[in-house]
């Protein structure tokens, strides 16, 4: 009987992407996906070092898995435990010391070695740890298994050449390395041939994509090339960088029909003094000018951002500058974070400058009040309009509602489909439906029943799977969440509250 696996992914979309590759390799080895870790023969934790208390959480999870492993052994079976990703890259040997029941530890640069490491672990009495300093095989070259049929993460570059003082990513993922345009387009074409209708391009700084290959950013060229891929309905990307964002990219977005008019542009702070301390090499004027140009070229563009509150040394005036920029932009959604130090980053050493926790909390509350009001206004702007949604999933809690996303990535709930041929629904995850928006909250919009349905191959396959009682794919409220730095998830609404 084949062995089964379960992957738990922490952190950002790059980890989601890498987990898809790990799943692909495991399936090539004959493993099949288990519904949860309690029944799996192999559990892989794809870790994140960006989140606060990431290590405590990892060791908590590993403690739980040890109990599961002991139980299995008593029953005469085994449980293979694998730890990969950013925290493994940072703390590799420590993981093996603190949790010697782990079987394999690998880092951010050697995902491709997973099959060999598992083979070694079979005959090893201690954890097999392998961490290398440089990427040898681009993860995109590895086999992949998607969590949903209609959407794929596509990595266009890994690593980052910036040195934002709050961020650990460059030391874990290394310098930026881009893939060639032809290779990316070929991957996207084969994804579309395999029913994908939406791709999200991933890079720590998509606006510098291609600089290491061509001496200048090729991101606009890539968007235009993807515009020529027939059958590809939606192209998204994350994350851009305000310093490197060129007019050329804005024009490519505006002129390429399948590129969604959604810009997730991390602000981090509205204070030029704090931006300098963060080593973010743009200023608020540049940021606001980019927003103005975006709106001039794409009046329908949805704008989202990330903001850190209470960076070391942030004064009341600095925070007010952030509020002023936020008020001026009017974001559809802002992911706001209270600063917390990440060991190993320059900002973590500025202990004397740390802002007292109660001050950070108070500022954070004020910012949240403002951004929630803006999110509500963003959804209200959709009232009465007809929106095309990419159908995501039925609600977990209310079977009469389904969820989908607009091209601007707003989350919209709408009535469930009727059953078509007596078994399959008339639309399913991966199909495109047109709805009229009838109500708005800060977290999502509500809409009337779908009036037009554009079926896709992914939707038909999902509908058939549902009629057989199988899973339809990723529920809307199981989407990965954004982190404090690095890649962010471009979702406009908080996880669905239905
Ligand atoms: S925040 Fe983004 S741009 Fe800055 S160092 Fe981290 S990954 Fe690079």
- Burial code (b: 16+ CB inside 10 Å, e: under 16) for 179-206 equals bebeebbebbbebbeebbbbbbbbbbbb
**Closest ligand 1 atom number to CA of residue 173:** 7
Query: What pLDDT does 490 receive?
Result: 31
pLDDT 10s digits, 118-143: 999 988 888 999 888 777 777 777 88
Mutate to test the pocket of ligand 1, among 49, 172, 204 (most ligand atoms within 8 A of CB): 204
Angle between helices 316-329 and 357-380 (to 10 degrees): 10
Q: Locate 355 and state its tokens.
A: 């802002």
**Closest ligand 1 atom number to CA of residue 268:** 1
* CA atoms of 424 and 472, how far apart (whole Å): 12
Nearest to 451 by CA among 438, 439, 437, 434: 434
For ligand 1, the distance from its centroid to the CA atom of residue 150, given in whole angstroms, is 29
For ligand 1, the distance from its centroid to the CA atom of residue 167, given in whole angstroms, is 6
Mutate to test the pocket of ligand 1, among 158, 205, 344 (most ligand atoms within 8 A of CB): 205
The residue nearest atom 4 of ligand 1, judged by CA position, is 164
Q: CB burial class (10 A; 0-12, 13-18, 19+) of residue 24? A: middle
Q: Locate 312 and state its tokens.
A: 């070391």
Mutate to test the pocket of ligand 1, among 158, 161, 162 (most ligand atoms within 8 A of CB): 162
pLDDT 10s digits, 157-186: 999 999 999 998 888 888 999 999 999 999
**Closest ligand 1 atom number to CA of residue 241:** 3
For ligand 1, the distance from its centroid to the CA atom of residue 381, given in whole angstroms, is 32
Looking at the domain covering 386-478, what would its CATH class be? mainly beta
**Closest ligand 1 atom number to CA of residue 161:** 8
Distance of CA 12 to the CA centre of its chain: 5
For ligand 1, the distance from its centroid to the CA atom of residue 310, given in whole angstroms, is 18
The residue nearest atom 3 of ligand 1, judged by CA position, is 162
pLDDT 10s digits, 303-361: 999 999 999 999 999 999 999 999 999 999 999 999 999 888 999 999 999 999 999 99
For ligand 1, the distance from its centroid to the CA atom of residue 96, given in whole angstroms, is 28
For ligand 1, the distance from its centroid to the CA atom of residue 239, given in whole angstroms, is 9
The pTM of this model reads 0.87
The domain made up of 4-130 has a fold known as Rossmann fold (3.40.50)
pLDDT 10s digits, 12-67: 888 889 999 999 999 999 999 999 999 999 999 999 887 767 778 899 999 999 99
Is residue 179 within 8 Å of 157, Cβ to Cβ? yes
Mutate to test the pocket of ligand 1, among 243, 482, 486, 488 (most ligand atoms within 8 A of CB): 486
Q: Which residues line ligand 1 (CB under 6 A)?
A: 160, 162-164, 167, 169-170, 204-205, 241, 485-486
CA angle (106 as vertex; 194, 475 as ends), nearest 5? 40
Does 259 score more than 90 pLDDT? yes
* CA atoms of 228 and 249, how far apart (whole Å): 16
Going by pLDDT thresholds of 50, 70 and 90, the confidence category of residue 233 is: very high
Mutate to test the pocket of ligand 1, among 279, 485, 487, 488 (most ligand atoms within 8 A of CB): 485
Going by pLDDT thresholds of 50, 70 and 90, the confidence category of residue 2 is: confident
Query: What pLDDT does 422 receive?
Result: 58
Going by pLDDT thresholds of 50, 70 and 90, the confidence category of residue 1 is: low
* CA atoms of 305 and 340, how far apart (whole Å): 18
For ligand 1, the distance from its centroid to the CA atom of residue 112, given in whole angstroms, is 24
**Which long-range CB contacts under 8 A does 241-244 form with residues at least 24 apart?**
241/162, 241/205, 241/206, 241/207, 241/208, 241/266, 241/282, 242/266, 242/267, 242/280, 242/282, 242/286, 242/287, 242/290, 243/207, 243/280, 243/281, 243/282, 243/286, 244/205, 244/207, 244/208, 244/217
The residue nearest atom 2 of ligand 1, judged by CA position, is 486
Q: Taking all residues of the chain, what is their mean pLDDT, rounded to a whole number? A: 90
Going by pLDDT thresholds of 50, 70 and 90, the confidence category of residue 466 is: confident
Give me the DSSP letters along 426-459: SS-TT-EEEEEEEEE-SS-EEE---SEEE--HHH
**Closest ligand 1 atom number to CA of residue 168:** 6
For ligand 1, the distance from its centroid to the CA atom of residue 490, given in whole angstroms, is 16
Sequence spans of domains, the chain: 4-130, 144-375, 386-478
* CA atoms of 234 and 197, how far apart (whole Å): 6
CA angle (129 as vertex; 128, 134 as ends), nearest 5? 140
The residue nearest atom 7 of ligand 1, judged by CA position, is 486
For ligand 1, the distance from its centroid to the CA atom of residue 191, given in whole angstroms, is 28
Under CATH, which number does the domain 144-375 receive?
3.80.30.20
Residue in this structure with the two tokens 């090339």, named with its chain if needed: 225
* CA atoms of 373 and 331, how far apart (whole Å): 10
Q: Poorest-confidence range of 116-125, 238-247, 379-388, 468-477? A: 468-477
């Amino acid at each position: 009987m084949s062995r089964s696996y379960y992957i738990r992914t922490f952190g950002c979309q790059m980890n989601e992407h890498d987990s898809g590759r790990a799943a692909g390799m495991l399936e090539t080895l004959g493993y099949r996906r288990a519904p949860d870790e309690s029944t799996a023969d192999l559990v892989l934790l794809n870790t994140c070092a960006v989140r606060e208390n990431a290590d405590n959480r990892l060791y908590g999870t590993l403690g739980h898995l040890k109990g599961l492993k002991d139980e299995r052994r008593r029953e005469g079976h085994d449980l293979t435990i694998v730890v990969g990703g950013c925290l493994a890259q940072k703390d590799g040997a420590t993981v093996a010391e603190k949790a010697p029941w782990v079987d394999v530890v690998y880092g951010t640069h050697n995902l491709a070695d997973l099959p060999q490491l598992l083979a070694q672990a079979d005959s090893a009495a201690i954890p097999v740890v392998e961490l290398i300093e440089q990427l040898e095989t681009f993860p995109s070259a590895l086999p992949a298994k998607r969590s949903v049929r209609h959407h794929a993460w596509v990595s266009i570059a890994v690593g980052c050449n910036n040195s934002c003082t709050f961020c650990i990513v460059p030391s874990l993922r290394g310098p930026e390395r881009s893939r060639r345009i032809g290779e990316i387009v070929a991957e996207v074409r084969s994804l579309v041939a395999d029913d994908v209708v939406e791709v999200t391009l991933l890079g720590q700084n998509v606006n510098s994509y291609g600089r290491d290959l061509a001496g200048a950013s090729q991101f606009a060229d890539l968007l235009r090339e993807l515009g020529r891929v027939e059958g590809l309905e939606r192209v998204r990307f994350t994350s851009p960088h305000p310093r490197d964002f060129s007019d050329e990219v804005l024009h490519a977005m505006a002129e390429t029909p399948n590129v969604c008019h959604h810009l997730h542009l991390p602000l981090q702070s509205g204070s030029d003094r704090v931006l300098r301390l963060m080593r973010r090499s743009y200023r608020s004027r540049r940021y606001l000018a980019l927003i103005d140009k975006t709106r001039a070229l794409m009046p329908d563009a949805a704008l989202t951002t990330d903001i850190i509150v209470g960076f070391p040394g942030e004064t009341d005036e600095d925070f007010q500058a952030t509020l002023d920029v936020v008020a001026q932009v009017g974001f559809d959604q802002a992911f706001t974070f209270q600063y917390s130090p990440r060991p190993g980053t320059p900002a973590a050493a500025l202990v004397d400058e740390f802002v007292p926790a109660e001050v950070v909390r108070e500022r954070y509350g004020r910012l949240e009040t403002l951004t929630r009001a803006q999110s509500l206004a963003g959804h209200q702007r959709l009232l009465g309009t007809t929106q095309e949604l990419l159908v995501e999933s039925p609600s977990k809690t209310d079977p009469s509602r389904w969820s989908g996303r607009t091209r601007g990535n707003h989350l919209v709930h709408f009535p469930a489909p009727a059953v078509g041929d007596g078994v399959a629904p008339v639309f399913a995850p991966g199909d495109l439906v047109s709805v009229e928006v009838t109500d708005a909250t800060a977290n999502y919009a509500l809409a009337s029943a779908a009036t037009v349905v554009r079926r896709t191959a992914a939707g038909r396959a999902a509908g058939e799977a549902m009629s057989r009682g199988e899973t339809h794919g990723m529920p809307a409220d199981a989407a990965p969440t954004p982190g404090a730095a690095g890649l962010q998830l471009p979702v406009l609404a908080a996880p669905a509250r239905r």
